[in-house]
Amino acid sequence: MQPPRYFRSSRRIGPEGRSAAGNDRDDALLFSVKIATIFSEGVHGMKKIIIAADHGALELKKNIVSHLEHKGYSVDDLGVFNEDSVDYPDMARVGCEAFLKGDYEYGILACGTGIGISISANKINGIRCALPQNVFAARMAREHNNANILAFGGRIDYPEPVEDMIDAFDESVFSSEERHGRRVAKMNSMDNT
């Protein structure tokens, strides 16, 4: 597991723990930027994530909630909380409607395969739900598609941990390239068709 992005740097650190350039002023500046980021993201801007799942992804949901809380995020868990059968379209509606009303960074939905809940979510205006298969797809879901919901399957044997996919999505930002904005605008225009 990688440390949060505010502890990572592309700068090379030399053998004495100093920057490769050995510049104490640069090191102090880097440290102050990291501290400022911690406070701006952590204390006053704690990320809020919403999650909902059906009975087919109960254990996966628990693991995801634990992972996000360990990162210091506020997680609104809308259920389910037991293995009693529920319909995934109902959980998609609950999760997406709460996401659209709340002040959430993004949402996560899960069912047995992730397919049914993602299809259901994408029927709701304003939702762009992605069903990533790996870290690359999760990153692209944010960078190219500006997805606001991720979907996963509790019965799927993924090639990479779901938590790594969430981290890749979480650490990405929507691309500023015009072509991606144009394409997302076209997707959004299809909401009421």
| CATH 3.40.1400.10 correct for 48-189 | yes
Question: Are residues 174 and 142 in contact, defined by beta-carbon separation less than 8 angstroms?
Answer: yes
Q: How many CB atoms lie under 10 A from the CB of residue 146?
A: 19
CA dist., res. 5 & res. 21, Å (int): 22
Domain-by-domain residue ranges, the chain?
Answer: 5-43, 48-189
How confident is the model over 26-38, as pLDDT tens digits?
554 444 444 444 4
By the 10 Å C-beta count (0-12 exposed, 13-18 middle, 19+ buried), 89 is classed as: middle
Check if 111 is active-site. yes
How confident is the model over 42-82, as pLDDT tens digits?
444 689 999 999 999 999 999 999 999 999 999 999 999 99
Please pick, among 55, 67, 96, 111, the residue that the annotation labels catalytic: 111
The whole model's pTM is what? 0.76
Give the distance, in angstroms, between the CA of residue 120 and the centroid of all CA atoms in the same chain: 19
